[in-house]
Amino acid sequence: MNSFWNGKRRYIALLLFLAGVFVALVVPPVIPFIQLAGENLPSGYDIPFTDIRITNTFVAAVIVWILLLLFTVYIARRRPSDGGEVPPGGFYNMFEALYEGLMGFIGGIAGGAHFRLIFNMFMTIFLIVLLSNWMSLVPGIDTVGFIHPHTKEKFDPETEEYKVITTDGFEIYQGFLGISYVNGQCDWISPADEAAADQAALAEAEAAGLAAQQTQIEDAAYARYQAAHGEHGASEHTDEAGGDHGEDSHGEEAVESAATAMDDEVLAARIAEKQARANRGCYTGVALAPWQDGYSDDKDAKKKPIPLHPDPSSEEAKRVPWVVLPLVRVASTDLNMTLTLAIISVVMTQYIGFKALGIGYLTKFFNFGTLFKSPLGGIDVAVGLLELIGDFAKILSFSFRLLGAMFAGAILLFVMSFLVPILPWPFFILEFFVGAIQALVFALLTAIFMNLATISHHHDDDHDDDH
């Protein structure tokens, strides 16, 4: 029997690995602009017949549902029509084994009259969350989309005008077929910030020179003091009278030399910082310093307004910071998706509770039956209220647990791909298992809570009365 990696498959895998190494070395990795809420797509991408803007997490959710629909059609077509037909091999067999295993597992937890409803809810949530979580492993998710100028308009009440405010972002460059790329190696620097950094370097150099000058003067004074008190006799006065002028002249030259050296050292560090950016192919923040070309400010930057939405291929694009607006972002990194699933889970728990116990299900939360019959009746009332609060708390715990795990995982993949672009495979494998575990935990807790809702609080008492 041939191994899976025999034949052409191993060469395809090797080719893909080499292609990944090549891309990692040639194309600098980019950390997308990270924010918790889903990003709105550019204007024109609205929900039909509404003014509601589509978000990239909504696009991911739609893709998940399309995949589930195609998956359902595939399973339905591959499923044997009767028990005598031999099931097909491959992926269908793997899914059938997983399905039967999960059915047996949930049957051991929530078996009974309501097993089918509980298992259907478990399997639905499990597949939705699993596919949503694993989307972060697909190349292009969170990294391919729109090049977005990271600017905004702000009203200035003093001048009664709108000003363009720039924020953090990167430079862009034109690549193959005119496609724009965000250069993650070059964070964008405004002309004003560059001029301010140059002026700060000048001020720091001047302060360092004055400090070195003061230190040299103090050292020279201390040396003269030591020499004056370390000699005896008439020769002391003779040497002082004949050598004062020469020593003072030499001391002044030493002081000026120390100050100049310290001044040059600080300015050289600033020039080296500019040169390092130029060596990385950056174009902002690398202009000549004011002490190199004679001007102290960027007058052209003040005359020309910063564009709000420039053409990425124009020269104006160099004066604006850019970020990646992903076309698709993992749906489970958006609180809207995780909160919706949490609400559905809690609502279905209440539904199955009423279906199984009727109106008596409310005694789980409002248990006043023993309030006047037993000294411990007040405890039953308090426990019921805590149960009610706990059911509302499940919405928060469900939604934020999944959101926190997947959002942190997405950031981990961004950072590790940026730091170790050639070999991020261990972290992708880690995220693979984290996504599966989070989906299983979310669905399993839903099944457990639904099963608990079907159990009456008076089940034990009724059981004893029957005997």
Q: What is the pLDDT of residue 434?
A: 92
Task: Indicate if the pLDDT at residue 70 is higher than 90.
Answer: yes
Q: Cβ(123)–Cβ(105) under 8 Å? A: no
Residues 322 and 336 occupy one common structural domain: no
Total count of residues recorded for the chain: 467
150 Cβ contact partners less than 8 Å away, ≥ 6 residues apart: 33, 166, 167, 168, 169, 320, 321, 322, 323
pLDDT in tens, 381-434: 787 788 888 888 889 999 999 999 999 988 888 888 777 766 677 888 889 999
Residues 458 and 332 occupy one common structural domain: yes
SS3 of the chain: helix, strand, coil, percent, to 5: 65, 10, 25
Q: Cβ(383)–Cβ(431) under 8 Å? A: no
Which of 326, 343, 359 represents a domain boundary (last residue)?
A: 326
Q: What is the pLDDT of residue 278?
A: 86
**Better-scored residue on pLDDT, 339 or 139:** 339
What is the average pLDDT score of the chain? 80
- Give strand ranges (E) for 9-167: 145-149, 151-156, 161-166
Q: What is the pLDDT of residue 134?
A: 93
150 in a structural domain: no
274 in a structural domain: yes
Domain count, the chain: 3
232 Cβ contact partners less than 8 Å away, ≥ 6 residues apart: none
Place of tokens 């862009």: 172
Which of 326, 361, 396 represents a domain boundary (last residue)?
A: 326
CB-count burial class (<10 Å; 0-12, 13-18, 19+) for 438: buried
Q: What is the pLDDT of residue 2?
A: 53
Among the residue ranges 135-149, 207-221, 260-274, 386-400, the one predicted with the least confidence is 207-221
Secondary structure (3-state) at 320: coil
456 in a structural domain: yes
Q: In angstroms, what CA-CA distances link 445 with 80, 119, 333, 437?
A: 32, 12, 20, 12
155 in a structural domain: no
Q: Cβ(439)–Cβ(129) under 8 Å? A: yes
260 in a structural domain: yes
Residues 312 and 333 occupy one common structural domain: no
Residues 372 and 427 occupy one common structural domain: yes
pLDDT band for 379, please (50, 70, 90 cuts). confident
User: Nearest 5 degrees, angle CA 9-CA 10-CA 11?
Assistant: 90
Residues 422 and 452 occupy one common structural domain: yes
Residues 203 and 318 occupy one common structural domain: yes
Residues 342 and 372 occupy one common structural domain: yes
Q: What is the pLDDT of residue 319?
A: 84
Our measurement of the distance from residue 16's CA atom to the centroid of its chain's CA atoms, rounded to an integer in Å, reads 26
Q: Cβ(326)–Cβ(54) under 8 Å? A: no
Residues 348 and 287 occupy one common structural domain: no
Q: What is the pLDDT of residue 419?
A: 77
Q: What's the CA gap between 208 and 269, in Å, rounded?
A: 13
pLDDT band for 9, please (50, 70, 90 cuts). confident
Q: What's the CA gap between 444 and 422, in Å, rounded?
A: 36
Task: Indicate if the pLDDT at residue 452 is higher than 70.
Answer: yes
Residues 211 and 253 occupy one common structural domain: yes
Residues 198 and 233 occupy one common structural domain: yes
179 in a structural domain: no
pLDDT band for 83, please (50, 70, 90 cuts). low
Which of 258, 291, 326 represents a domain boundary (last residue)?
A: 326
Q: What is the pLDDT of residue 341?
A: 93
Q: What is the pLDDT of residue 238?
A: 44
Q: What is the pLDDT of residue 63?
A: 94
Residues 335 and 458 occupy one common structural domain: yes
Q: How many CB atoms lie within 10 A of CB 347?
A: 11
Q: What's the CA gap between 432 and 426, in Å, rounded?
A: 10
Q: Cβ(108)–Cβ(446) under 8 Å? A: no
Q: How far from each other are the two terminal CA atoms of the chain, in whole angstroms?
A: 62
Task: Indicate if the pLDDT at residue 160 is higher than 60.
Answer: yes
Domain extent for 335: 31-143+328-466
Q: What's the CA gap between 171 and 149, in Å, rounded?
A: 10
pLDDT in tens, 252-309: 666 667 677 777 888 888 888 888 888 888 888 887 877 776 554 555 555 567 788 8
Tokens of residue 317, six digits: 């694009």
Q: What is the dihedral of CA 204, 210, 212, 215, to 10 degrees?
A: -140
**3-state SS record for 105-145:** HHHHHHCCCCHHHHHHHHHHHHHHHHHHHHHHHCCCCCCCE
pLDDT band for 230, please (50, 70, 90 cuts). low
Task: Indicate if the pLDDT at residue 334 is higher than 80.
Answer: yes
Q: What is the pLDDT of residue 6?
A: 64
Q: What is the pLDDT of residue 242?
A: 45
369 in a structural domain: yes
Tokens of residue 194, six digits: 């560059």
176 in a structural domain: no
Mean pLDDT of 442-459: 84
Residues 280 and 367 occupy one common structural domain: no
Q: What's the CA gap between 176 and 168, in Å, rounded?
A: 26
Task: Indicate if the pLDDT at residue 240 is higher than 80.
Answer: no
